Amino acid sequence: MKKHLFALLHSTRAISVVAWFNRRRVPIICYHSVTSDDMRVAHDPHKQHLPLELFLRQLDFLEKKYNVISLSEFIAARRANRQLPDYSIVLTFDDGFEDFSSVVAPQLRQRELPATVFIITDRAFGRFIPNGESFLSWEQIKELASAGVEIGSHSCSHVPLPELSLDEVGKELSDSRALMEANIGVLPTSLSYPFGRTTAEVSDLAQSLGYACAIASDAGPNSDDASIYTLSRTVIASDDDVAAFAARVSGLTSWITLQTRLPRRT
């Protein structure tokens, strides 16, 4: 039903109107995995593994409609109170799946598009691998960093941080930074909270540990006054066609979600 609605809104340019209203807000697009034809995932309950041909159509859309910038450029502009070009957008990839190196990076390199990949450091050692999925090794992460891909932290073990004590959170976040510096010579400045979950105390701790920014829940494009330690992401699902993708990027789907969560007046 939603796909039909988004297709209609896309064809009538209604989504373009929403995008125009949000043109100065910056979406941080969150992907997880992109699979080639011979790497398709049969069981994908969380809709994390996007087919390559769909990903390429989404990149085509972004190149026509948006100005893709790096996460570091976005944060630098925010700290300098500098206005970015309209329709600016950031690409990120959570969890550090191996296919970022084998499938995604060559496509981004060909199009000269910047991106940030957030690494779960335990999985770079091959620890705690769920469902037989493959994750980037330290050697691959180092190669990506050398090629200009921004490397961020997704904690050590990918547990929901609000469920831990602050001492445990501090260890998750500080050990993750230290392990990246030791293994690839890069000290990450950006953080993506596991599952997008944080609290005021966790965000304050992330700032005190030296992170320059942190990305939290799926809530649409970021306004100028959004805290850089609770930035919003826009999560892309594996079955999002171009119309659904356009709706998410424009901020329409987050607005619809917000409206359905608002308390009804009686």
pLDDT tens digit sequence for 49-71: 999 999 999 999 999 999 999 99
- Residue 164, token pair as written in the block: 């831990």
pLDDT at 1 over 70: no
Residue from 100, 113, 89, 105 nearest 245 by CA? 89
Residue from 119, 131, 103 nearest 33 by CA? 103
pLDDT at 134 over 50: yes
For the chain, percent of residues with pLDDT exceeding 70: 88
Domain extent listing, the chain: 24-243
pLDDT at 263 over 60: no
Residue from 191, 95, 179 nearest 138 by CA? 179
Residue 219 makes CB contacts below 8 A (sequence gap 6+) with 232, 233, 254, 258
Q: What are 137-176's pLDDT values in tens digits? A: 999 999 999 999 999 999 999 999 999 999 999 999 999 9
Handedness of CA 183, 185, 187, 193 (dihedral sign): negative
Q: Which of 85-94, 202-211, 217-226 has the lowest mean pLDDT?
A: 217-226
For the chain, percent of residues with pLDDT exceeding 90: 80
Question: Which one-letter amino acid corresponds to residue 266?
Answer: T
Q: How confident is the model at residue 265 (pLDDT cuts 50, 70, 90)?
A: very low
Q: How confident is the model at residue 27 (pLDDT cuts 50, 70, 90)?
A: very high
Please give the full DSSP string across 110-142, using - where no structure is assigned. HHT---EEEE-HHHHTT-S-GGG--B--HHHHH
Q: What are the beta bridge partners of residue 214?
A: 191
Report the CATH number of the 24-243 domain.
3.20.20.370
Mean of pLDDT values over 93-97: 96
Q: What Rg value do the Cα atoms of the chain yield, rounded?
A: 18
Q: How far apart are the C-alpha atoms of 70 and 187, rounded to whole Å?
A: 17
Three state DSSP letters for 212-247 = CEEEEEECCCECCCCCCCCEEEEECCCCCCHHHHHH
Q: How many residues are there in the chain? A: 266
